[in-house]
Each structure stands twice: as structure tokens, then as C-alpha cells.
Amino acid sequence: MINESISVIKIRDILLVTMPPDPDDHSITVLQDKILNTMQRYQVKGLILDISSIKTMDSFLARVVVETAQMVVLMGGKTVIAGMQPSVAITATQLGLTLGGALTALNVDLALEMVSDNFKRGL
């Protein structure tokens, strides 16, 4: 069953996605599919993935975040991961997580500025 509470919002030429606070594996996979399908449908230039509601990150969630960022790159876009909590940053480091070229921002406002600046410069 698809989780209808997962929303992918198009703002100009980017997608804004907020991760649910306690996602299960199925919801994460659905979210990934929804992001990629929406990206293709609207031909957007990038993704802001807001993970500020995530308090803990397991290896599956970490892998899906990185894979999603890589898939966005393969589709011609850029990813900014916004709102990482300190506990998540610690766990991500302990898991050896590398973001595969994704940018990071402290919050969504800064991510929006970053995406706008990068697109203007053609990065």
C-alpha cells in the first residue's frame, strides 16, 4: 500500500521533499520512486531532501538517501540534503556514509538559496 502522506512538492524547477519522522522501509522505497517519477514528469533541475524530522538513521535509510541523490544526478539534477540533526550526522559518520556529490544545508531556507545560486552559476 502506498503511503499517501508522502508529498513531493514542485517549487519552480526543483522538488522539495520532507522525509516522514519515523519512516519504515516500504515508505522510504515509495518515497524514492515518487521522487524519481516526479522528477521525470516535470523535468526539474534538482531535489531538496528535508530530513530535519529524522532523529535516527539506520543503514537502510542512509543507503536510500545516498542512492536517491545519485539517481537524481543520473537524471541530470542536483540534490541538497537539508536539516540533518546532530545525532543523524554522528550516525552517518559512524556508518561511513558519503553523500555521493549531494550538497548539504542546515535548513530548507538555506537549501533553497543554495539551489538558486548553483543553478544561476550552472553548477
pLDDT score recorded for residue 24 = 86
Share of the chain above pLDDT 70, in %: 90
Could you tell me which of 60, 73, 74 has the C-alpha nearest to residue 31?
60
The rounded radius of gyration (Å) of the Cα atoms in the chain is 13
Span 106-119, pLDDT tens digits: 999 999 999 877 66
DSSP state of 55: -
Q: What is the mean pLDDT of residues 47-68?
A: 90
Map out the domains of the chain with their CATH numbers.
9-121 (3.30.750.24)
Q: Are 19 and 82 in contact (CB under 8 A)?
A: no
What is the pTM assigned to this prediction? 0.87
Span 28-33, average pLDDT: 88
Q: What is the model's pLDDT at position 28?
A: 86
pLDDT at 2: 43
The average pLDDT across 80-100 equals 89
Q: State the average pLDDT for the chain.
A: 87
Mean pLDDT of 53-78: 89
